[in-house]
Amino acid sequence: MDTTNIFTVTPMSQKIELEAGQVYEGSIVVANPANAANDFHYKVEVSPYGVIGEDYLMDLSNQSEYSQIANWIEIDEPTGTLKPNETRDIYFTITVPENAPSGGQYAALMVSSENNNTASSGLAINNVFEMASVIYAKIAGETVRAGEVSSFSIPGFVTGMPITTGVTITNDGNSHETAKIALEIKSFFAASPLYPTPEDDGIISELILPNTTRYITRDIDGISSLGIYEVKETVNYLGQNTTFTQTVVSCPIWFMALVFVTIMAVIVAIVRTVRAHRIKHKVF
């Protein structure tokens, strides 16, 4: 197993409260695991952070009014080398301008490997791998909180597990907001919920960035693929609860095929019986 590019970066994200004119010092931790085959030569850079589309594809190249913070961050020691089983704190400084806009600001600290391995032919092979630690910053000042739960998507009929639910949430404000999404599944013929379980409270939390719309899906497995269920999804967003309930019929294809074959067999049996009866009682 090639462990050249296996390394870890923690935390994967951090939320920071800042004020205009403030100087903030923070850090991330980069680790080269004990089973690494080589020393890890790292490089840390700062990129703007944003998203593309409702599926929230990561955007690390386009600058926006909400990623100005990428220009305010300096990495103390942006390059270095870690031996196997060695970790290092990478410190960074955020110098917030006096005229910084209030609201959300987002950037990513990109840690990349730059291990050059020399092949037998003498050609250099550049093996680069990247991981990001995302900074979600909120600059103190006037905060606009606006948005809505736009729609729910829960199928009424499925042919197999998992049951996939979806919800669309819009943020029209100037800072990130948290949406807490709770899911409950009951059998149509029983009062006790099948989900959530004692091990899982059924609630997830997702960030919605300013001036974006996010489509969030959930796959729920672990229940029978044959049954009728009541699925209820509740979103707590901007201090309000929005709930949608859907009756879901789950019928796997194999069961539908079995029912079809059974019905056809019954029809054939009836037709044969009727024919036999007519032949038996036919008058010549």
Residue type, 282: K
Identity of the residue numbered 115? N
Class of domain 8-139: mainly beta
Structure tokens, 171 = 């943020």
Locate CATH 2.60.40.10 in the chain: 8-139, 147-250
pTM of the full predicted structure? 0.82
Contact in structure between 136 and 104 (CB atoms under 8 Å)? yes
DSSP symbols for 153-196: E--SEESSSPEEEEEEEEE-SSS-EEEEEEEEEEETT-SSEEES
Neighbours of 113 (CB within 10 A): 20
On whether the 147-250 domain is CATH 3.20.19.10, my answer is no
- As a whole number, mean pLDDT of residues 63-73 equals 97
Residue, of 221 and 256, whose pLDDT is higher: 221
Q: What is the pLDDT of residues 120-170, one digit of tens each?
A: 333 333 445 789 999 999 999 999 999 999 999 999 888 877 889 999 999
User: pLDDT digit string (tens) for 164-198?
Assistant: 999 999 999 999 999 999 999 998 887 788 888 88
